[in-house]
Amino acid sequence: MMATGMINGVDVERLSSTIDAIKGDPGIAAFRFRATNRWDNGGHTETTIHDFYGAKQNVTHDRDFHIDADEPDLLLGKDLGANPVELALTALASCLTTSLVYHAAARGITVRAVESDLEGELDLRGFLGLTDTVRNGYKSISVNFRIDADADEATIDELVKLAQNRSPVFDIISHPVEVLVTGEAMAAKH
């Protein structure tokens, strides 16, 4: 049975009615998320998040989100933003935490604080094409949560498992996603 009211800042009544609506019409659950990226110089790019499609409509965010990415000096950049693999950890951390908090709310479990530390091992020889024996991306990622909640140790373990089992970004990183990349020449800009 689902809890009611606001729990952990999540409106569980609205969550419940969203679930009912999707059960009645699965098309409501079909989302398309979008990003546009523009290269600046060297390792510096800016990504803009403007809108998405979901619940059968196009939805514009309250404001555009601009996210700088760059490489640190050691990787020949100007350090004007987190680098892309740090942004991958950011996506994973925020997704696991949100999944944990929303699913705790749905079960009526009050969460007071969630913190996590992430670390990913990456061998640069992959990116540089220096060997076929290492991959380009993370070899492995560790995530360590500290949770303050109205729950015993066993329930906290269960919430951490639930977060993994439901988190979209955990799935995206731990299982293969088909990525189709195309490119074309752009007319010169003046």
Q: Does 24 bind a copy of itself (CB under 8 A)?
A: no
Cβ within 8 Å of residue 176, ≥6 positions away: none
Tokens in use for 61?
A: 């965010």
CB of 97 to a copy of itself, least distance (A): 5
How many CB atoms neighbour CB 150 within 10 A?
Answer: 11
Minimum CB distance to a copy of itself smaller for 47 or for 108: 47
End-to-end CA distance of the chain: 61
CA dihedral 10, 11, 12, 15 (to 10 degrees): -100
Write out the binding residues for a copy of itself, residues 52-111 only, by CB under 8 A. 52, 54-55, 59, 61-63, 65, 67, 69, 71-76, 79, 81-99, 101-102, 111
166 binds a copy of itself (CB under 8 A): yes
User: Which one-letter DSSP state was computed for residue 2?
Assistant: -
Regarding 185 and contact with a copy of itself (CB under 8 A), the answer is yes
DSSP state of 136: S
- State yes or no: residue 17 binds a copy of itself (CB under 8 A): no
Identify which of 36, 28, 76 has the alpha carbon closest to the alpha carbon of residue 54.
28
* Alpha-carbon span 101 to 109, nearest angstrom: 9
**Pick from 4, 33, 58, 110: which binds a copy of itself (CB under 8 A)?**
33
Q: Does 132 bind a copy of itself (CB under 8 A)?
A: no
Among residues 4, 25, 41, 110, the one that binds a copy of itself under rule CB under 8 A: 41
Among 32, 109, 110, 132, binds a copy of itself (CB under 8 A): 32
The nearest distance, CB 72 to a copy of itself, in angstroms, is 6
Q: Which is nearer to a copy of itself, 98 or 108 (CB)?
A: 98
According to DSSP, the residues that pair with 53 across neighbouring strands are 32, 58
| Rounded least distance, CB 122 to a copy of itself, Å | 5
